[in-house]
Amino acid sequence: MTTAVARPREVLITGAAGKIGRVLREGLAGRYGLRLLDRADLGVARSGETLVQADICDHAAVDAAVRGIDAIVHLAGVARIGDWQAILPANIAATHDLLEAARRHGVRRFVYASSHHAVGFYGRDDVIDETVLPRPDCGYGLSKAFGEAACRLYHDKFGLEAMCLRIGTMSEAPYDRRTLSTWISPRDMVQLTALALEASDLGYEIVYGVSANARSWWRNDRAEALGYRPQDSADVFAEAILAQPDEEEAIARRFQGASFAASEFRER
């Protein structure tokens, strides 16, 4: 297990009003000062919080939000199939601009919310790790593969420490057969994010955001080497879920990315 570096004092979380953002807002409260950015209403600021209501595509607002920040958790973006005109500015241009703002303002660490959809065209018989080539399953997955590569560039060229989290399915519990493989619990999501913010000797890493699921398609040795110890497992839900009929479409069932891979898929 690696030792931890000094905790960042001030962390910017983009997309803080989203599902994962709300979990991190609660789970990281009191651990760092939190600067929370989202275009949606963030409610009332709590102790240790600064709220920024702005669009991730608003260059000036984002640049201002990055000033004085030690680390960034970048969650904001569009997670839809087939909406490239929304994905391009929100997931690609905005991620580049945020990395550039991090460089300009001397941010030490960047935690990027990637997705298993960056590798979603691997089959369900494949067990993969962080070393595999990207196989995005849709435009959204392509944007996440771009984000991983952009983080690599900013590490290699400018020394930004970066961890890319290929997040599976975060929910209170797994809800179908596929999520028995992809599920990450909220508390494991908080643990993994805190690790990404605090682990020493980070350099550039890709890890999987997944709990301790026996059916997982992802080897997460790097996360474990850095100190990740998931507390939850989808296995405890397996009996009830496997007793239900499998209603997943046949093409979706072939790929790790499921419906994202199946959308507009053409058989050869």
- Give 53-65 pLDDT, tens digit per residue: 999 999 999 999 9
pLDDT of residue 5: 57
d(CA 32, CA 65): 16
Asked if 81 contacts 132 with a C-beta cutoff of 8 angstroms, the reply is no
Q: Is 140 a catalytic residue?
A: yes
Give all domains of the chain, ordered by start, each with its CATH number: 10-262 (3.40.50.720)
Lowest mean pLDDT among 78-82, 147-151, 260-264: 78-82
Longest dimension (CA), the chain: 57
Q: Which helix (H) or strand (E) holds 20?
A: helix 19-27
| pLDDT tens track for 186-228 | 999 999 999 999 999 899 999 999 999 999 999 999 999 999 9
Q: Which of 32, 112, 122, 140 is catalytic?
A: 140
Residue 22 has pLDDT above 80, yes or no: yes
pLDDT tens digits, 32-59? 999 999 999 999 999 999 999 999 999 9
d(CA 87, CA 83): 6
The arithmetic mean of pLDDT across residues 143-168, rounded, is 99
pTM score: 0.96
Q: Please, what is the average pLDDT of the chain?
A: 97
Q: Kindly report the backbone phi and psi dihedral angles of residue 33, in degrees, each rounded to the nearest multiple of 5, phi listed first.
A: -70, 135
The band of 266, judged by pLDDT with boundaries at 50, 70 and 90, is very high
Mean pLDDT of 128-140: 98
| CA geometry: angle 32, 115, 113, nearest 5 deg | 20
Indicate the pLDDT class of residue 7, thresholds 50, 70 and 90.
confident
User: Model confidence over 69-96: pLDDT tens digits?
Assistant: 999 999 999 999 989 999 999 999 999 9
Give the mean model confidence (pLDDT) for residues 16-27: 99
Q: How confident is the model at residue 6 (pLDDT cuts 50, 70, 90)?
A: low
pLDDT greater than 60 at residue 3: no
